[in-house]
Amino acid sequence: MKNQAIVKTHFDLGQENLYVGKVRDVYDIAGKYLVMVVTDRISAFDVVLPKGIPFKGQVLNQIASKFLDATADICPNWKIASPDPMVTVGYKCDPFPVEMIVRGYLTGSSWRDYKAGAREICGVKIPEGMREHQKFPQPIVTPTTKAEIGSHDQNISKEEIIRRGLVSQEDYETLERYALALFERGTQMAAERGLILVDTKYEFGKRNGEITLIDEIHTPDSSRYFYADTYQERFDKGEPQRQLSKEFVREWLMDNGFQGRPGEQVPEMTDAIVESISDRYIELYENITGERFEKSSSTDRLEEMEANIRNMLARL
């Protein structure tokens, strides 16, 4: 593949510190701003895979940036600007230690729990007699605690969050209200593209005492989409749904004997596999946004990215 994936950045932006996550490099500028670089690293089953995926970071950053702008009337968010296709600059917030998962359908881990006999998820009662991929009577909020790197997020109920003092009751009710309103907006925008927003996660923090949406929103890494035109027919027949998410990466890994368990080896990521995953991410972008994807392909992307960031920071 001609274009090399960007899997690491090492800019000197005068940052107080640099946080390197599974996918993002986050530069803390003066304890006031964050420069979030969405790299081309890819993770699955809590493991960062050995090769990056060209243009994946650009896809995720541009989708998140678009949805942050499209939901800014619902609640404040952290974004100031996106000075580069792979970068968002925004306000540093104090994050809440929980993630707000909103589910519109009984799918994925919620279905696996239900099939195993659970009739309650995070304190939310689930009706008897439901089937995989069935729509809930109304979207439900099933929060998780934020895990340390390398460990899994844990389901937790609203009552437990408040009892443990992770979030105050007043703040939690605001988080829940914002999450449901954001999900409703995301659902409307997806429907315009012939898609169903199935489930997603939102992260919030506080800035100057105000609850603020942070991180990514409605990307294929944080959300699951179904194609609307085939949903009902496939549901009626009990067939798997056509999905827009990074589930296809997990499926490829599972088909090749990897689920992140001890002793398992990540299968070989050939150039053809890497290119096919890149193509799928670009397809995701075009389906979710309705816009043609423009590849950022200058000869030295890292140099260009750093210049774009520096120009932005100089204006703050």
- Which positions ≥6 away from 316 have C-beta within 8 Å? 33, 80, 89
- Residue 102 falls within a domain, yes or no? yes
Tell me the pLDDT tens digit for each residue of 300-309: 999 999 999 9
Residue 80: C-alpha distances to residues 88, 296, 315 (Å): 8, 21, 11
Q: What would the mean pLDDT of 87-97 be, rounded to a whole number?
A: 97
Write out pLDDT tens, residues 194-230: 999 999 999 999 999 999 999 999 998 899 999 999 9
Instruction: State which residues form the domain around 180.
Output: 95-207+224-244
Pick the residue with more confidence: 119 or 146? Answer: 119
Q: Is residue 116 in some structural domain?
A: yes
297: in domain: no
Count: domains in the chain: 1
Residue 281, domain member (yes or no): no
Rounded alpha-carbon distances, angstroms, from residue 47 to 21, 24, 27, 144, 268: 11, 14, 22, 19, 14
Q: What's the CATH number where 182 sits?
A: 3.30.470.20
34 and 26 in contact (C-beta within 8 Å)? yes
List C-alpha distances in Å: 99 to 36, 132, 164, 214, 230.
Answer: 19, 24, 15, 11, 30
Give tens-digit pLDDT for 104-131. Answer: 999 988 999 999 999 999 999 999 999 9
pLDDT tens-digit series, residues 154-178: 899 999 999 999 999 999 999 999 9
Asked whether the predicted pLDDT for residue 1 surpasses 50, the reply is no
pLDDT at 19: 95
